[in-house]
Structure 1
């Protein structure tokens, strides 16, 4: 993509200041709040907010609200991301100022991980009870990796991202990843996990999966892992997810087969007790998707008190008419 001379000059002016370049360097490594940035930069909130305002006006960064917190990130647009990455990749991390910023950034990320660990400790017993009923997560993850394949793609969206695990698993394949979750506590967990895994090209945001804060027709892969059984209208959620796919994009759903474990409804807020292939197939068809694959994962010693995990793959019926998909991760990152 090309821009006008005046637009490029305005963009360069916005970035050509030491504090703003430091901010871009930090945001290229993950989303941060104003408080995070004031702690790292050692500057007052009004001054940091002024720098952020100028970067926002130049289209280099975006702002999004998460409850009472405002987060900032590098802009989602390809041209802005490429511009920012081109700038910060040329800054030596051993520069004394940048080195101090990165040390303080590590402190911010450690505090996130501490909050995540606290949340996990409060809920571990509940999650372990459900995990004991079905096949190990590792087996499902391996099947997902095999199903999606090794070919890089541009963009992934994980609806109901939870711990951010799927964004971590597929990080080597996508150029841009986004996770959506309604729970601020789970977003804290996801950010901590992505930070720990060194995944800087994925973001997580607070939002409702029935009205996700992302653009439509923009994602090559959309995932919904153990989400549908919490919803009153899973068919509507699938239709909304399908609208977010690019032509020929894929929707992958992981959930449970039909079961009769009523205590999950009463004690763990499950609204639906599993789904059949027929139900998912009908919802896919209504959303303009073809059901391409289904897989079953039965636990050992299967009984009525166990859960079978299901995997469904749907593909957008529209033909993809565009440039070929990059054949390597490095090429994917260079493609606009």
Structure 2
């Protein structure tokens, strides 16, 4: 509650006016639980779309919620940063969990999420056979996850970005480490799966967004850790995706790439849309060097299978090495990180 003293009188009144209306307070409580559309909110609150949209507009102007477009749909959620949001979250904590209106909203929210999950599961089931076939060719996912966590370490992460998030696997795996997580994917069907998985895991610190991996809809230099998990082999120019990821890193931030080592399974091109048949250490290190990142660690995970029908998974860990040297001359014990030009 210490942040409250930092509000000027006018600012404090503005936040209280924005949140201090029954429908808007209900909206804030719902959007604190994850991403929802106007249609979702209309169904839950039983109010007209114009009315809901007007309230959302006021909450957006007060910088309490985020809005982002996904094709014809717009998704909303409670912001994760800022003094106004900190105050709003504090207010929501004082709402009784036994309030009949909030209980009814919670039940309807659960129904909306169940319907979302059923649609996502239908898509996932249609494609599960293909994904299972690929998994049989390489080391178990659990072994990859364990190696990834060992490489990253257990230090808290402020902002985490997962590119080509797919089912949201990385957002789930690392949910105990990051304060704010974002997953980006070009497939709206996969985003539906990811949202469903985040709902099931009750992860409210992460959100997913539709976007182009080559032109991300995010602010540059905003993330401490970025992962690109089993995505680059689908791209014609993976080095451009790496460059865009580097643009998103804060000074000192880390990029982790998990992908396939070079292999000779040509049928993956035609049957599974693989454009690249794996990446060598030398090629990956050269791409990382060109975008100003320093390779720190590399780990190969062999499947142990025989007969030539196997894949090796490689994890590359790189860091943005930028440091502001000048600032450290007067204060050598606490060097500051510089921004990318």
TM-score of the alignment, normalized to the shorter chain, above 0.5: yes
Task: Find the residue that maps to 1:292 and give its secondary structure.
Answer: strand
Matched, 1:205 2:190: no
Task: Find the residue that maps to 1:64 and give its secondary structure.
Answer: strand
* Corresponding position of 1:331: none
Matched, 1:189 2:196: no
Give the Cα separation in 1 of the matches to 2:84 and 2:137.
46
**2:288 aligned to 262, 284, 288, which one?**
284
* Corresponding position of 2:152: 148
Give the Cα separation in 2 of the matches to 1:160 and 1:257.
19
Matched positions, count: 323
Larger Rg: 2
* Corresponding position of 1:229: 233
Task: Find the residue that maps to 2:243 and give its secondary structure.
Answer: helix
How far the C-alpha of 1:287 sits from its partner, in A, is: 1.3
* Corresponding position of 2:331: none
The 8 Å contact of residues 28 and 84 in structure 1, kept in 2 or not, is answered as no
Matched, 1:316 2:320: yes
Root-mean-square deviation over aligned CA pairs:
1.7
The 8 Å contact of residues 150 and 173 in structure 1, kept in 2 or not, is answered as yes
The 8 Å contact of residues 15 and 84 in structure 2, kept in 1 or not, is answered as no
The 8 Å contact of residues 228 and 255 in structure 1, kept in 2 or not, is answered as yes
Task: Find the residue that maps to 1:238 and give its secondary structure.
Answer: helix
Runs of 5+ consecutive residues of structure 1 not aligned to the other structure: 325-336
Runs of 4 or more consecutive aligned structure 1 residues displaced over 6 Å after TM superposition? none
The 8 Å contact of residues 302 and 311 in structure 2, kept in 1 or not, is answered as yes
How far the C-alpha of 1:281 sits from its partner, in A, is: 0.5
**1:307 aligned to 307, 311, 328, which one?**
311
Matched, 1:43 2:34: no
What pairs up with 1:55-134 in 2 under 5 angstroms? Answer: 55-134=59-138
Give the Cα separation in 1 of the matches to 2:251 and 2:321.
7
The 8 Å contact of residues 134 and 306 in structure 1, kept in 2 or not, is answered as yes
The 8 Å contact of residues 207 and 213 in structure 1, kept in 2 or not, is answered as yes
The 8 Å contact of residues 65 and 71 in structure 1, kept in 2 or not, is answered as yes
* Corresponding position of 2:184: 180
Give the Cα separation in 1 of the matches to 2:36 and 2:323.
38
How far the C-alpha of 1:4 sits from its partner, in A, is: 4.2
Give the Cα separation in 1 of the matches to 2:92 and 2:192.
26
How far the C-alpha of 1:76 sits from its partner, in A, is: 4.7
Matched, 1:139 2:148: no
How far the C-alpha of 1:234 sits from its partner, in A, is: 0.8
Task: Find the residue that maps to 1:270 and give its secondary structure.
Answer: coil
For CA contacts below 8 A with separation 6 or more, give which structure has more relative contact order.
1
Give the Cα separation in 1 of the matches to 2:169 and 2:268.
23
The 8 Å contact of residues 137 and 310 in structure 2, kept in 1 or not, is answered as yes
